[in-house]
Amino acid sequence: MITVNLRPDLKRKRARPPLQGVMEGLRGLSSGIKDPLLLVAVLSWVGVLGWLGFIAVGTTRELSALEPKLEQARAEHKRFKAFLTEKRHQELIRDSLVAQIGVIRTVDGDRYVWPHLLDEVTKALPAYTWLIDISPAAAPAPPPPPANGKVDTTNAAPAAPPAVQFTVNGRTVDIQAYTRFLRQLEASPWITEVTPVSAQTVVEKERPVTAFSIKATYRQADSAYIRTVPLSQSVR
């Protein structure tokens, strides 16, 4: 192909890549700066500013992403704080009720001992057997005081109520009824340590009968054996 230049006084401009102009500008800048240390310092400051800008943009982005989580954490904190406050309030009420129940049990713990004993002895009594009396046995002697006369109550647990021991005196016309009475007393959940004291033949109303004496101890039965009934009272 033949190309004809109609304007010979102007040189034809050749197309050049864009990066070439940037490189030429950097060469001109470097040629204008005669001190190489100044050029290094300028480039260092440009790199630091760029790095700081990148860090600032990343931090802003992370902060924007964490804002919803922060609000959620604050809401959870308020909810759990209210829950803990209510829990402490309920625990105070529970402790107060437990203390009141403990006082009631302390005052009312041995009120129904003898009703339980009479009821259990009546259930265990076989036919052709009758009772003469039921009386409390002699209380055991208290333990001797320590040598120094002082009792350490710092870590002492509350003393348990003393065991109620009682004696049953009765009569029967059948010796087998007496042994059956002993077995039925031992099977009671409210009575323990059933011990026969004496059994001898005596004459009452011109008839030979067996006079017996039994010693036993009252114990608190398991809750499975305790039956409660509603108490109703008519008001006129």
Q: Is the pLDDT of residue 224 over 80?
A: no
Say how far apart CA 64 and CA 62 lie, in whole Å.
5
Say how far apart CA 57 and CA 39 lie, in whole Å.
27
Beta strand 129-136 with 207-218: parallel, antiparallel or unpaired? Answer: unpaired
3-state secondary structure of 138: coil
Question: If you average pLDDT over residues 188-206, what whole number do you get?
Answer: 89
In the chain, where are the structural domains located?
Answer: 19-109, 113-138+163-222
Q: Which of 112, 227, 225, 98 is nearest to 161 (CA)?
A: 112
Residue type, 173: V
Q: Determine which of 24-28, 102-106, 174-178 has the lowest per-residue pLDDT on average.
A: 24-28
Count of C-beta atoms within a 10 Å radius of residue 110: 13
Question: If you average pLDDT over residues 166-189, what whole number do you get?
Answer: 92
Q: Is the pLDDT of residue 172 over 90?
A: yes
Question: In Å, how far are 10, 33, 93, 96, 129 from 105, measured between CA atoms?
Answer: 121, 99, 18, 14, 36
Q: Is the pLDDT of residue 130 over 50?
A: yes
Per-residue model confidence as pLDDT tens digits over 145-166: 555 555 554 444 444 556 789 9
Q: Is pLDDT larger for residue 101 or for residue 141?
A: 101
* Domain 113-138+163-222 indexed as CATH 3.30.950.10: no
Q: Give the confidence band of 92 by pLDDT, cuts at 50, 70, 90.
A: very high
| Average pLDDT over all residues of the chain | 78
Q: Give the confidence band of 132 by pLDDT, cuts at 50, 70, 90.
A: very high
Q: Is the pLDDT of residue 211 over 70?
A: yes
Say how far apart CA 136 and CA 167 lie, in whole Å.
6
Please tell me the total number of residues recorded for the chain in this structure: 236
Say how far apart CA 105 and CA 109 lie, in whole Å.
5
Residue type, 121: V
In the block, residue with structure tokens 């710092």:
154
**By percentage, how much of the chain surpasses pLDDT 70?**
67
Question: If you average pLDDT over residues 203-212, what whole number do you get?
Answer: 89
Per-residue model confidence as pLDDT tens digits over 37-91: 776 777 788 888 888 888 888 888 888 888 888 888 888 988 899 999 999 999 9
Count of C-beta atoms within a 10 Å radius of residue 219: 15
Outline where 34-142 has alpha helix (H): 36-108, 113-124
Question: If you average pLDDT over residues 116-137, what whole number do you get?
Answer: 89
Q: Is the pLDDT of residue 235 over 70?
A: no
Question: If you average pLDDT over residues 121-135, what whole number do you get?
Answer: 91
Say how far apart CA 215 and CA 224 lie, in whole Å.
26
